[in-house]
């Protein structure tokens, strides 16, 4: 059972990495996620069911996600509306698109076809099935993480980071922020869709409603991760996002398993996730205020001490 939480958490963490790009690195509040995660699941499922194979399914799911991101970023760039609204528009439209991809069915199952979670136990046959799935997912996630770390250390990756911090810097360096947003939001949703593609294979079906509330869950995971340690190094930032994703899923598991003791049912999870995000934000704010207070006190001490010296 414990391996199941880790597999679920790892798959989820790819989506968290995607949300990390839009929310934290680009500072672009993107709600496309709720739609694109289901798009990824739907595309991968239809590819696998249709006999195109797992690799093609994953690649096409990623590309479909990139396309979703490009739509959101284009709406934002061309119509000059806030990213939030652009994301909601794309997300809403994607619901219909996802149903189309699934052949106008609400869900399509992946029974009697080869999926990653059938290949992993074969590839790692020296392990029990559950652990083989865990190892396979872990390798997959680590590969995604390493590629992402490398990408954000390239000149282009740095430029994306700078855009989130300060758009004027990008303009001053002769880069078009609109192009960078296309790249960033595209990649973000590519990862989110990839996460959906894995999830569909793990749970054995794709569902048009798969993405509901995913953004908030991803945000909760990012915030949990940020409590673990603070750093400005991309490798540690992605690591803590992954850890946050796993911890979030573990918390949800505990809620499912022991929640009944205090009368919590899975129906309450969305409410609890929202409250978790609010608590995280409150704690982060209190911390920031406390450190500002500390700095003020130190500065005061310094000037007071300075005065005493001059008096003496």
Q: Which residues bind other proteins (CB under 8 A)?
A: 151, 153-156, 158-159, 161-162, 164-166, 168-177, 179, 232
**Min separation Cβ 77 and other proteins, Å:** 12
**Cβ proximity to other proteins, 96 vs 179, nearer residue:** 179
Contact criterion met (CB below 8 Å) for 220 and 248: yes
**Cβ proximity to other proteins, 169 vs 281, nearer residue:** 169
Nearest to 98 by CA among 149, 156, 40: 40
**Min separation Cβ 309 and other proteins, Å:** 19
Nearest to 246 by CA among 2, 1, 3, 8: 8
Neighbours of 253 (CB within 10 A): 17
Identify the H or E element spanning 303.
Answer: helix 269-311
Q: Residue 108 forms beta bridges with which residues?
A: 206
Nearest to 36 by CA among 95, 116, 81: 95
**Cβ proximity to other proteins, 12 vs 152, nearer residue:** 152
**Cβ proximity to other proteins, 176 vs 209, nearer residue:** 176
Contact criterion met (CB below 8 Å) for 29 and 91: no
| DSSP reduced 3-state for 206 | strand
**Min separation Cβ 23 and other proteins, Å:** 13
Distances (CA, A) of 251 to 216, 225, 245, 246: 15, 13, 10, 9
**Min separation Cβ 167 and other proteins, Å:** 10
DSSP 49-91: HTTS-HHHHHHHHHHHHHHHHHHHHHHHHHH---HHHHHHHHH
**Cβ proximity to other proteins, 103 vs 165, nearer residue:** 165
**Cβ proximity to other proteins, 51 vs 174, nearer residue:** 174
Sequence-ordered list of residues with C-beta below 8 angstroms from that of 26, at least 6 positions apart, any chain: 160, 163, 164, 181, 184, 185, 188
**Cβ proximity to other proteins, 161 vs 255, nearer residue:** 161
**Min separation Cβ 216 and other proteins, Å:** 24
**Min separation Cβ 217 and other proteins, Å:** 24
**Min separation Cβ 159 and other proteins, Å:** 5
Nearest to 145 by CA among 68, 48, 240: 240
**Cβ proximity to other proteins, 151 vs 227, nearer residue:** 151
**Min separation Cβ 182 and other proteins, Å:** 12
């Amino acid at each position: 059972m414990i391996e199941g939480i880790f597999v679920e958490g790892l798959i989820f963490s790819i989506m968290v990495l995607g949300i990390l790009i839009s929310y934290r690195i680009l500072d672009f509040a993107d709600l496309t996620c709720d739609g694109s995660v289901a798009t990824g699941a739907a595309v991968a499922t239809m590819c696998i069911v249709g006999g195109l194979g797992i690799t093609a399914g994953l690649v096409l799911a990623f590309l479909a996600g990139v396309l979703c991101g490009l739509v959101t970023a284009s709406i934002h760039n061309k119509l000059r509306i806030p990213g939030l609204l652009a994301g909601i528009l794309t997300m809403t439209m994607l619901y219909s698109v996802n149903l189309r991809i699934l052949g106008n069915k609400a869900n399509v199952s992946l029974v009697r076809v080869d999926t990653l979670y059938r290949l992993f136990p074969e590839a790692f046959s020296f392990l029990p099935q559950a652990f083989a799935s865990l190892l396979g997912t872990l390798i997959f996630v680590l590969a995604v993480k390493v590629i992402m770390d490398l990408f954000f250390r390239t000149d282009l990756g740095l430029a994306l980071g700078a855009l989130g911090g300060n758009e004027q810097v990008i303009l001053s360096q002769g880069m078009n922020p609109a192009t960078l947003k296309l790249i960033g939001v595209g990649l973000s949703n590519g990862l989110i869709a990839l996460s959906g593609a894995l999830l569909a294979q793990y749970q054995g079906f794709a569902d048009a409603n798969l993405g509901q509330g995913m953004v908030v869950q991803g945000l909760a995971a990012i915030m949990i991760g940020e409590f673990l340690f603070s750093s400005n190094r991309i490798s540690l930032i992605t690591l803590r996002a992954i850890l946050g994703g796993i911890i979030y899923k573990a918390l949800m598991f505990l809620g499912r398993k022991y929640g009944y003791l205090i009368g919590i049912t899975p129906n309450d999870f969305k409410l609890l996730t929202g409250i978790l995000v609010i608590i995280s934000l409150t704690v982060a704010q209190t911390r920031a205020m406390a450190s500002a207070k500390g700095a003020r006190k130190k500065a005061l001490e310094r000037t007071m001490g300075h005065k005493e010296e001059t008096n003496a």
